[in-house]
Amino acid sequence: MFTEIISFQNSVIVTLFVVGIAYFSSNRKYKPNEKQIPSPFETIKKSVRTDAVYKTSSFSINTIPSLVGKTAVVTGGNKGIGYFTVKHLALNGAKVYMASRSKDNATAAIKKIKLEAAALGKNVDIDFIQIDLSDLKQTKQAGIDLAAKLKSLDILICNAGAYLGFLDNPTNDFRFQVSVDGYEKTFVTNYLGHFMLVQQVLPVLLKSRAHV
């Protein structure tokens, strides 16, 4: 009961604080020579993306320079953003390693890219690396094998990501999915796995003055 009262009091305090800021921001009158400080809400509004943000970039797939002689690794490259990243790196001359968990999905994606490249009169050089970022032991070994294979690594794109949600167990209780290493599976797939991979290939990256 005491905890509930404290929680309610905290909620009331936060609500009053927000209402106070809103009132202050909308009703304060500035003197003519006073330096006007934007309200918190105005600051937030200005920080939100607008069309102007996108117009400031001149980069597009048409401005990618020649990547002949460069080597790239893209995780999660068999679909979505990763797929198109692999495709356009390869179309511009890079040797690309598509790092994915599913060999079948990656093989199908590589085949599709090669067909699209052939339609443009181009050849592409893409290989598959099997890596399960939710399994740190497997990821470490895959990284070691990759580092041993590469003479250089110019581009590493840590693209793979997943939201694996909850598992519904027989007790109708919701639990996080847990990896083989005992970590929450979304976190290890999106972050710890990439950290492990980068650690294994870091010497090659540094030697190549690469971009990650």
178 or 71, greater pLDDT:
71
pLDDT 10s digits, 123-149: 999 999 999 999 999 999 999 999 999
Question: Does residue 190 share a domain with residue 157?
Answer: yes
CB 191 within 8 A of CB 136: no
CATH number at residue 79: 3.40.50.720
Q: What gap in Å lies between CA 178 and CA 185, rounded to an integer?
A: 5
Question: Does residue 178 share a domain with residue 111?
Answer: yes
**Helices and strands counted in the chain (H then E):** 8, 6
**What's residue 43's pLDDT?**
57
Question: Does residue 124 share a domain with residue 181?
Answer: yes
Kindly report the average pLDDT of the chain as a whole number.
79
CB 176 within 8 A of CB 185: yes
Question: Does residue 95 share a domain with residue 41?
Answer: no
**What's residue 169's pLDDT?**
54
**What's residue 130's pLDDT?**
96
31 or 160, greater pLDDT:
160
Mean pLDDT for the stretch of residues 93-121: 96
pLDDT 10s digits, 21-49: 444 444 555 455 555 555 555 655 555 55
Using pLDDT thresholds of 50, 70 and 90, give the confidence band for residue 13. very low
Question: Does residue 172 share a domain with residue 142?
Answer: yes
- The CA-atom distances, in angstroms, between 169 and each of 18, 73, 140, 178, 188 are 40, 38, 31, 13, 21
Mean pLDDT for the stretch of residues 80-97: 96
Q: Look at residue 164 and tell me whether its pLDDT is greater than 80.
A: no
pLDDT 10s digits, 51-61: 555 455 667 78
Identify the domain containing residue 31 by its residue range: 2-55
**What's residue 183's pLDDT?**
86
| Beta-bridge mates of residue 211 | 155
Question: Does residue 150 share a domain with residue 98?
Answer: yes
Q: Look at residue 88 and tell me whether its pLDDT is greater than 90.
A: yes
**Would the pTM count as exceeding 0.75?**
no
Question: Does residue 133 share a domain with residue 75?
Answer: yes
Lowest model confidence (mean pLDDT) among 39-43, 116-120, 206-210? 39-43
Using pLDDT thresholds of 50, 70 and 90, give the confidence band for residue 19. very low
Provide DSSP, 109-178. Answer: HHHHHHHHHHHTT---EEEEEE--TT-HHHHHHHHHHHHHH-S---EEE--------EEE-TTS-EEE-B
